[in-house]
Structure 1
Amino acid sequence: MSRPRKDPRAARAAHRIAGGARPRFDLAAAPAPAGRPRRDPRAEERLALVPGTLRRRLDRAQRVAVASAMPPALPEAPEAAPRLRVIAEPAFLVAVVPDAPGGRLSAHDRQLFGAARMLADEGGGAVLAFVAQPGEDLGPAGADRVLALPVSGHDPEAKALALNAALAALDLRHVLFPESTDGGDLARRLAALSGEPFFAGAESLSPKAVTRAARGRRVEQRRVPPRLVNLAPDAVAPHAGTLHEALPVAFAFPQPSGGAVLSAEFIPADPAKVSLAEADFVVSAGNGVSDLDTFRALVAALNGTPGASRMLCDAGLMPRSAQVGASGTVLDARVYFALGIAGAPQHLQGVAKCEQVIAVNTDLHAAMIERAGLAIVADAQKVMPALLALLQQERQP
C-alpha cells in the first residue's frame, strides 16, 4: 500500500565521503534511513475498485492506512449544539411579519429574520415575530419573542388592524415584511392605517441605510431605514449560528370588528396542471423509469406535479414542459422527488433551490444521491409499486 518516502538531503549526506576538499560520494554506501511513509496511489486504487460492475467504479470509503508508522488520526470532535442566546431586557424590538405558508417558514421568511437580527443586534434589541400559529422553527430562525395574532384564515384587513394596535403600543423600531403578494398587501395596509413612512422593495438593508433600484435600475434610492420595510428575496442571508428562545408574549389586542371580508377559503390548485416553476412538490422520472403508467399513478397518489429529465423529454416520453434543469425549468419547490435520475450538472442546477430532495437510484455514487437529503439505493421500478401499496394501505380505514 505504501513505501518509505525518500529524504534527498539525508540520502546525499549518507553517501558523502568526508575528508576531501571536493565533495565526493560513495553510491554503494548504505541508504539513508526511511522518512515518513509515501502513498502508493495505484495500490489505493486497486483496493478501492468495486468488483462485479461493468463500469469502473471506486469505493473511496475502503481506504486503509498508508503505513503503520503513521500516527493515529485524532478523533473528530462531536458537533457542538447551537448556543442558546437569551435577551432578558431588550432595549427595543424589531418585528417580523412572515408569510409562513402552511404554518412553516419559507426561505424568504428566514431571510427576514436574518435582517431583523442584524438590526436588533446593533443596539441590544430583540426580534419579535408576529405569526398566526407559533412553530418550533422560530427559535432557530432567530426570534426572541413570539406574539400570536388573533386572526384566522385570510383576513388582511383584520390583521392590519391588529398590527396597527401593536405598532402603537409596543416599542417597535422596525417592522419587516416580505415583498410578496400577501406581505406587500399587508405592509401597505399598515402604512395607510398608521401613517408611518414605508420603504418597499428593499434590496439591501443595514442599520444605517436601506437601498432599492428605481427608474429601470438606472438609479439607486438610499435612505435611513424607516419603521416599515418590505424586503425583496435574497437581499439578506438567513440567521445561523445561535439559537434563540422564541418566548411567547401576551398582548391585549382590540376586539376585531366586522370588516369587508366575511369569509375566505383557500382553494389549492390542481398540482397536475400547475407549472413546474410554481409547483411545491415535484416528482420526476429519469432514464431509470420505464413504466410511466405506474409513475403517473404514483404522482397522482402523492398529489405532486410531474417532472422529467431531459432524456425522457428528448425521447418524447414526457412533454417538454415537464423538463427539469437549466435547459428546462428551474424549480423553487419545497420537495423534489427524483426517480431513476443520475443527476447531470444541468439537472442539478434546476433543483438547486429546492429545500428537500429525495432520490431513488441504483447507483450509490450518483450525483443526485449525493445531493439528496434522503436517498434510497434501489431500483425505481420496484420502489414505485411498493410506495403505491403503502399509500393504498394507509388510506384504508
Structure 2
Amino acid sequence: MSRLRRDPREERATHRLTDGGRPRWGLEAPPASGRLRRDPRREIEAARVPGLQRLRLDRTSRSIIPVIPSPVEPLPKAAPTIRIVEEPAFLVAVVPDAPGGRLTPLDRQLLGAARDLADVAGGATLVLAFGTVDGLGLAGADRVITMAGGGSEDPSARAIALATALSALHPRHVLFPESAKGGDLARRLVARTGEELFTGAENLTGKLVTRAAANRRIEQRMAPPGLMTLAPDAHSPHAGPAHEAREIPAPDVFPSGGHGAILSVEDLPVAADALSLAEADFVISAGSGIADFDLFRALARALGATPGASRMVCDAGLMPRAAQVGASGTVLEAACYFALGISGAPQHLQGVARCEHVVAVNTDLHAAMVERAGLAIIADAHPVMSALLVALRAEAQE
C-alpha cells in the first residue's frame, strides 16, 4: 500500500489535551500518519458568505469572498400575441345576441365553433353585430361589422339588413345562437332567403354537424350547411390567442326607402322585482344568514336586482316559493348572481351554474358558494348590505 496505516490510539494520544477533567482533543496538530484530519465545522465557517441571512457557502477558494446580492429586476411583461389573418380563404359569419354590448356564454361558444370552422382551411371569422360589442378579439373574431341604424331593434329590419349584408359578403357559413333572440332572427332570415337552416346543432366540425331528434332516440347528421344555430353548451369557447377583431365598413344594408314593417321600437322599463327569476339578468339572493329582510329588499331595489332566496328561506316562509333558486326552484341564466349568507348546497349551486358572474358574502371562508364565486367577501352580510346602501345613496346624490 502507498498510504500509511492509521493508528487511532496514537492519534488520540497525540491530540489529547492534558488539562485534566473530561478528555478533549485538539485538531491543530497533525496526526502521526501524516494525513490531515478535516474539521467540517471550521470549513463551513471559512466558506460562509457574510452579509446574508440565509446560509451560503463559497466553495471556489479557501478565502472568504463577500458576495453582495444584486437587486432582482422584474422581467418585462411580454406583449399579448394577436393573431392576424390578412387574406382569408373564406368567411364564417357569426350573429351574436350580445345584450348590452357584452357577449353571453352562448355567444362565446358560438365564436369558438366558428373559430374551429375557419381554422380548417385558412378562413376567418366575421362578427355581424347590431351595436358595439366588447371582447370580440379575445373571443376569436377576425373581422367585425357593426350593423347600426335603420331600425336595427326591429327583428324584421334586422333580417333585411342581414340578408343584404350576407348577399354582399358571401360567407361560407352563418352561425346563430339557439336562443329566443338569435333563433327568431335565423328563422326570419330563412323565410326571406329560402336557404336551408340546421337548428340546434350539438356537434359541429368542418365536415359534419349533428343534433338529436325523436326525443333523443336518433341522431341527425349532415355536412355543415350555410345557416346553422348552435345549442347551448354544445361547443367550448375559444381558448387560443386573441385575434385582430378588425373593424371593416358595413355594406349599405338600408337603401333609400327600405325599412321593416315596424317603424319604431321602444324599450319599456320593467321593475326588477316584477321579473321572474328565469328572465332576470341580475339576481340577489338571501340565505339562512340573513335576518333583516327589509334591509335585503331595500338593497335589491337600490341595485335594480331581482330578489331570490335559498330553499331554507322559502321553507321558512320568509320569501315566496317563486323566489327559490336551485335545482328544485329556478335555474338561473343571469349575468350576475349576488348571494348573501348562502353556504351553497349542491342543489343551489346547480341553479347558478349558468350564471356568468357570482358574488358571495359569507362568514365561512370554506363555504361552497365562496368557492364558486368569482368575488367573495368574508364578512357578516348585514354590515355589507348597510355599507352598500350608503354607497349607492351617496352615488345617487352626486
TM range (shorter): 0.7 to 0.9
TM-score if structure 2 supplies the norm length?
A: 0.76
Q: Which amino acid aligns with 2:305?
A: G
Residue in structure 1 matched with residue 372 of structure 2 by the alignment: 371
Residue in structure 1 matched with residue 310 of structure 2 by the alignment: 309
Residue in structure 2 matched with residue 91 of structure 1 by the alignment: 89
8 Å Cα contact 1:361-1:377 kept in structure 2: yes
Residue in structure 1 matched with residue 196 of structure 2 by the alignment: 197
1:313 CA drift (Å): 1.9
Give the alignment of 1:251-330 within 5 angstroms.
251-256=250-255, 257-330=258-331
1:88 CA drift (Å): 0.9
Give the alignment of 1:1-397 within 5 angstroms.
83-151=81-149, 152-256=151-255, 257-397=258-398
- What SS does the aligned partner of 2:274 have? coil
8 Å Cα contact 2:142-2:245 kept in structure 1: yes
User: Structure 2: how far apart are the matches of 1:294 and 1:153?
Assistant: 41
1:201 CA drift (Å): 2.2
8 Å Cα contact 1:150-1:253 kept in structure 2: no
User: Structure 2: how far apart are the matches of 1:283 and 1:155?
Assistant: 31
8 Å Cα contact 2:370-2:376 kept in structure 1: yes
User: Structure 2: how far apart are the matches of 1:79 and 1:347?
Assistant: 40
Give per-residue Cα distances to partners, 1:139-160, cap 9 Å, x unaligned.
Answer: 1111000011133542222222
1:78 CA drift (Å): 11
User: Structure 2: how far apart are the matches of 1:146 and 1:310?
Assistant: 44
Residue in structure 1 matched with residue 52 of structure 2 by the alignment: none
8 Å Cα contact 1:83-1:242 kept in structure 2: yes
8 Å Cα contact 1:105-1:137 kept in structure 2: yes
User: Structure 1: how far apart are the matches of 2:282 and 2:188?
Assistant: 32
User: Structure 2: how far apart are the matches of 1:255 and 1:310?
Assistant: 51
1:300 CA drift (Å): 1.1
8 Å Cα contact 1:286-1:339 kept in structure 2: yes
8 Å Cα contact 1:92-1:172 kept in structure 2: yes
- What SS does the aligned partner of 1:230 have? strand
Q: Which runs of 5+ in 1 are unaligned?
A: 1-67, 69-76
8 Å Cα contact 1:280-1:333 kept in structure 2: yes
User: Structure 1: how far apart are the matches of 2:248 and 2:327?
Assistant: 46
User: Structure 2: how far apart are the matches of 1:193 and 1:124?
Assistant: 30
- What SS does the aligned partner of 2:278 have? helix
User: Structure 2: how far apart are the matches of 1:184 and 1:344?
Assistant: 34
User: Structure 2: how far apart are the matches of 1:82 and 1:204?
Assistant: 31
1:90 CA drift (Å): 0.6
Structure 1 pair 343–254 and aligned structure 2 pair: CA distance change class (3 A): closer
Q: Which amino acid aligns with 1:361?
A: N
Q: Which amino acid aligns with 1:150?
A: A
1:119 CA drift (Å): 0.5
Residue in structure 1 matched with residue 27 of structure 2 by the alignment: none
Give per-residue Cα distances to partners, 1:190-228, cap 9 Å, x unaligned.
Answer: 223333222222222111111223333333222111111
Q: What is the aligned-residue RMSD (CA, Å)?
A: 2.3
Structure 1 pair 276–252 and aligned structure 2 pair: CA distance change class (3 A): closer
Structure 1 pair 155–294 and aligned structure 2 pair: CA distance change class (3 A): same
- What SS does the aligned partner of 2:174 have? strand
1:350 CA drift (Å): 2.0
Q: Which amino acid aligns with 1:366?
A: A
1:324 CA drift (Å): 1.9
Give per-residue Cα distances to partners, 1:79-119, cap 9 Å, x unaligned.
Answer: 98753211111101000001111111111111110110111
1:247 CA drift (Å): 0.3
User: Structure 1: how far apart are the matches of 2:370 and 2:299?
Assistant: 20
Q: Which runs of 5+ in 2 are unaligned?
A: 1-54, 56-74
